[in-house]
Structure formats: C-alpha cells, structure tokens
Structure 1
Amino acid sequence: MTATNRFLRPFLALAGLGLLGILSLIPLIEGSIEQASRLPGAPPLPDAVFALLILGQPTLLLLAAVALGVALAEKAGLTSLILRRLRGEAIGQGADGWGRTLLLAFAFAAAVAAADLVLRGMFPASLTALPRLDDVTPAGRMLALFYGGITEELMMRFGLMTLLLWLGLLLTGGRGRPVLVWFAIGLTAFAFAAGHLGAVAGMQQMDNQVLIARILVLNGVLGLLFGWLYASRSLEHAMLAHAASHVTFWGMTPVLARLGQGFAG
C-alpha cells in the first residue's frame, strides 16, 4: 500500500464517521444559534452565519484531529481497529473485551449519575439550571450518541491525546512511557471536561463555582476512563464506552432518583 493510501483511506473513513456527529447538530441548530447570540459580546450576525460557525468549527477540528490521529497514533503506540483494518494490518490489541468495556462504562456512568443526583440534593440552587442527565430530547440523544460517542472521541482521544503522547515520547526519547500515557490521558480528560463548560457560558453562570466544579469533575472522571480505554485497548472501545455512558445516564438516573426518594422517605 502506498504512503498516500495508508493515510487517505483511514482518514476518509474516520472523518466520515465523525461527520455523522456533525450532522446530528443540525436538528438542534436553532437552539444553538439562540444560545450563541446570547453570549456576552456576541456580534449581531445573521442566523446563517451563526449556523455556519456552529457547524464549521467542529468540522475543522474534526478533520484536523483525524489527520493527527491517522498520522501519529501508531507512532505513539496507540490503536484504532478501523485504522489497522484499512491498512491491511493485523488487528492486535483491542479486538476483544467489548463486554468488559460495557461493564466499565456502566459502572462509571452509574456512579456519575448517582453523584450528580447527590450534588443536586446538596446544592439545589446552584444546579437547578442544569438539566438532569435523563432530561434529554430525542434529538439530544442522537447528538450524545453520534457527536459524543464518535466525533468527540475522534477529536479528544484520537486527535489531542495522540498528539500529546507522541510529543511526550519525542521529547523524552521514548523514556517513561507509562507516565507519559497517564499525562496524556489526564490532560485530555481535563480538556474534554472543560469543553462542556460551554453549557455554563450559554446559561451565563460562569460565576457558579459549584456548577463549574460539577461539570469538570464528573466529565473529567469519564474522560479518564475513555482515555484509558484508548490507551489500553483501542479508540473504538473508547467510542463504545462514551456512547454507553449516555445510555446508562438515561436509564439509571430515574432509577437512582426513585431509590434516593425511597431512602429519604
């Protein structure tokens, strides 16, 4: 296989998958435009321009991240099953263990859902503006599965985490790889969590420290799991865990809420 095909085939396939997540933004575009127009200092732009920015920015980030991942993942010792398959290479690590990944995703997401409910009980005034984890419209659920489960993982794990680990290995000559892996996992998890602060900015509650801490800590915990799965298994395991976490939120949050009410009663 030529060098061009080794890059282009997986790039097009993974970018195509990521674009499914971009497309899932479209049903929510009207609300996103309204939210963006309310941001402090937002310029008075036509809705069409806002829509282009809302869709265009993540598209460019996605393409850049996929390009980085395709070029650097194997050099950093990381794996994507799709990448290896399209290059005609043996799958190797990450070809099995899907059931364990689902169990981990369920356990972490259920713990996050429980923590969210506890925090809502402790700080009701601070978190009342944030929708509960199961308060999601059908369009929002499609967004969570496709944009969250696929596009965000391509951006954060395949792009950013790969780049951080590759740079670390380059600068250290490959020494101390386990430490560098966890550094890349942790920094990417923080960036992943911080990316969710956009919801706070939309509600103009950037001074709400409880809300900010809740977003950073709970999303950061999940980011650590997704990063570890990428490093130890494959990108596709991280994608599966991310999507399964949302499904767990939707199913377990009402169950945990009823259990909490039962104990309180």
Structure 2
Amino acid sequence: MITVLTPTFNRAYILPKAYASLRKQTNYNFEWIIVDDGSTDGTEKLVSEWLSEDKFHISYYKKENGGKHRAVNYGVQKALGEYVLILDSDDTLTEDAIEFLERHCSEVASDEYAGLAGLREYTGKQGVIGGQKNDDSYIDATNIDRVKMKLQGDKAEAYKTSIMKKYSFPEFEGEKFLAEGASWNRIAIDGYKIRWYNHVIYQCEYLEDGLTRNKTDDVLMNNFKGYTYNTVLDIRTKSFPYNILSIGMYSRLAKKKGYSKKNIERKLKISSARYEQGQLMVLLHGITKRVKNGKK
C-alpha cells in the first residue's frame, strides 16, 4: 500500500535512526526504497546489512549525484506502493505512521484527491510544527490553500504514486537543487486536494547539513533555472503579500547575476508595475525584520 522513499547523500551516520523507526511500525504493509544520490561515506555497506530485513521489503539504488529531486523522481519510478511517503534520511516516523496512513487511504481514493498528509513534530519535546493540535481531525484543501486554511508549517504528505509520476520534478541540466513546490504547486493548480489530518506521523530535526538549513543565496544562484521556475509558480500560487515579495527576492539575486529589469520581467512573466511592487515589498520586508531584531 505504501512506499516509504528515502533519498540520501552521505547520511550513513544518521540513516540508522530512520531504519529503526521503520522496524518499530505497528503495520508492515509498506516497502522502503532508498535512493543513494552518490554517497561516498559507506552508505552502501551500511544498507547491505539491512537487505535481509524480514519485516518489510527494502530496495536500494545508487545513482550519480544529482540532487534530492532527481533521487525522488528515480525512486517514484521504482515504487510498488499506491502511495509514496518521502522520509528524509535524517528523520523518523512515529510507530503508528504506516497504520494511520493505510487506515485512511480509502477516504481519498477518488480522483479529486492527490493524497493525504499528517503532521510533523520536532524530535524531542519541542512540539508540533505548524501549531495544529494532534486531535485526528482533518481539512480538505489544495496545497495552495494551506495558508488560508491555517495549515502552517511543513507537513508529511503521502501522494498517490500515479500523481507523483504525472507531476515529476523538473530537471534542469547542471542544477542539483529544486524546491519541492515545483511539483506540489503544479498539483494544486490543477485542483487536486490533500486531506490534511491533525495527527502526528513524522519527526524531524532540521540538521545543520540538511537542505532546509542550507537553502542560501549561493544555492539559489547556482540553481537559478529551478529558482526561476519556482518563483513563477510562487507568483501564481502564493497569497498577497508573499507573491509580490517573491518577485522582489528573486530580482535581488537576478541583478547579482547581471539580469536587467526587462530580463527579469520577461523571465517572471510580469508587468513593470509588478516588478516595482516587488522592489517596494522587499524594502518593507527588510525594515520589518530590522524592527523585529531591535535595530534602527
């Protein structure tokens, strides 16, 4: 029923935590696919010791380093489950995660749904991400409508495998980073809903060597085609003022790359007035941040 998909790169030091959480599941109706994105730290030797696991099936694939989004695309093509849950290599699942997802999959079987999701919590005692109460209630909404529905923070989505194959991540030559909105927002634009459950199934830490902490200006500059692609989607899908702020943030880096105002407007498919609004929004955003930080 479920494919747990873990893209990994040089995470042999922590991958056993993810493995241990899968061994503790109350339901073993899942497979675990590990896509090794060119690790050089002994990940292959580590995983080889797990392949005889008798509680659930493990498939291990090693490929040339190309970034998480390519590893996910690769793994989805190998998936045998009806749903794919991405488990990052430094994270874990709660003991009832698979059981919970399988119990509710039938509720989102119709074509209007792309899948279902649970809550994430910080590892330890820091609480639920996004502030939702862990009460098992749910909201049906597209990924675009999350802010309006007060579904803040990262969630743990299990997308239908057929949907993930249809909306695979774009791959830009020479680039190894792409924000996940490149697929999730396209799915939402086409009207597919997610059933967002207020039930914790996923635990995470956001380590120093993770993608979340390292989405710096340099990363975006070095993966600018993908950044451009996602910014166009952000302008279309984010609510005000975040859609306008996206224009200003993008323009700031585009200018560093030598892009003119006209080039930026053409790439983002926006008017001159929208461009100017973006510059103003970035300025206001900067002032707000300085005030919050107690600076003049």
Greater helix percent: which structure? 1
TM-score, with normalisation over the residues of structure 2?
0.23
Greater strand percent: which structure? 2
Q: Which structure ranks higher in relative contact order (CA pairs < 8 Å, sequence separation ≥ 6)?
A: 1
